[in-house]
Amino acid sequence: MRLIKRLSEYGDFILKEDPACRTKFEALFMYPIVRALVYHRIANYFYRKKHTTLARFFSQRARRKTGIEIHPGATIGKNLFIDHAMAVVIGETAIVGDNCHFYHNVTLGGTGNEKEHQRHPIVGDSVIIGTGATVLGPIKIGDRAKIGAGAVVLSDVPSDCTAVGMPAKIIRHH
């Protein structure tokens, strides 16, 4: 029963986020992000239980079916919406908060230089990340921040700020 309630709430969230979505049925059965997140929840369960082969099986299946690659170890909050969901990569130690909105071709990755456990970004609640943005390393993106399309973010972005460019710079506090 909890799963049905959660899916219904997620369908409502998609309807609110995407003006092109007309019905909850369309949101839940036609949007690849829903399948990707269901697969991720299963993969994450097996990852936490140290069944890494099963975890990888489900995450790779999601990638093949949806074009969205979420590492089984990533922590994904409630109501992640990926608009035009293709070519999205979320790394192993990434943490994504609640009610975030990503567009296609977004990467939350590592730089390859990290030695500590947290190698990927931590994204706060209600963050918007634009098309083609790349967010790299153990950095923090604050609540309600906005990352512009094509930005390459290599350092922290405070809450309620907008960052754009390569490398990204803060252009606005909202």
In a domain, 10, yes or no: no
**Tens of pLDDT, residues 129-143:** 999 999 999 999 999
Share of the chain above pLDDT 70, in %: 98
Q: Domain total for the chain?
A: 1
In a domain, 150, yes or no: yes
In a domain, 11, yes or no: no
pLDDT at 114 over 80: no
In a domain, 79, yes or no: yes
Distance between CA 47 and CA 27 in Å, rounded? 27
Q: Say if residue 23 is exposed, middle or buried (CB neighbours under 10 Å; 0-12, 13-18, 19+).
A: exposed
**What's the length of the chain?**
174
In a domain, 146, yes or no: yes
Q: Which two tokens stand for residue 47?
A: 């990852």
Q: What range defines the domain where residue 106 resides?
A: 74-174
In a domain, 143, yes or no: yes
In a domain, 17, yes or no: no
Measuring CA to CA, how many Å separate 127 from each of 7, 33, 149, 154?
21, 17, 13, 16
In a domain, 6, yes or no: no
Helix axes 32-48, 52-66, angle to 10 degrees: 170
Distance between CA 126 and CA 145 in Å, rounded? 7
pLDDT at 163 over 90: yes
CATH number at residue 96: 2.160.10.10
